[in-house]
Amino acid sequence: MVKTDLNAADPAVRCAITVTYRQDEALDFWVPSQMDEYYKAAPSLDEVLATATYSNVRRFLKPSVN
């Protein structure tokens, strides 16, 4: 399993996003399996936590232009 992390902040808000990838044997490359997000507004107690899960990943082929 592989994952990427993004952390960013400014005076108004901070966020953290983590995407976890898995090897898809049928497609023969790494695909996202889950994304976790966290947002916090600095002056308040409000926080947002979100999780997205991915399944049934498919390959889309773009038609060639001649």
Report the CATH number that the domain containing residue 19 is assigned in CATH.
2.20.25
Q: pTM score, two decimals?
A: 0.79
39 part of a folded domain: yes
- What's the total number of domains in the chain? 1
CA 21 to each of CA 6, 47, 50, 59: distance values in angstroms, whole numbers, following the listed order: 14, 25, 17, 16
- Kindly state whether residue 64 falls inside one of the protein's structural domains: no
Per residue in 22-54, pLDDT tens? 999 988 889 999 999 999 998 777 899 999 999
Task: Give the span between the Cα atoms of 49 and 8, in whole angstroms.
Answer: 15
Mean pLDDT confidence for 9-26: 94
Report which of 12, 11, 13, 9 is spatially closest to residue 40, judged by C-alpha positions. Answer: 13
62 located within any domain: no
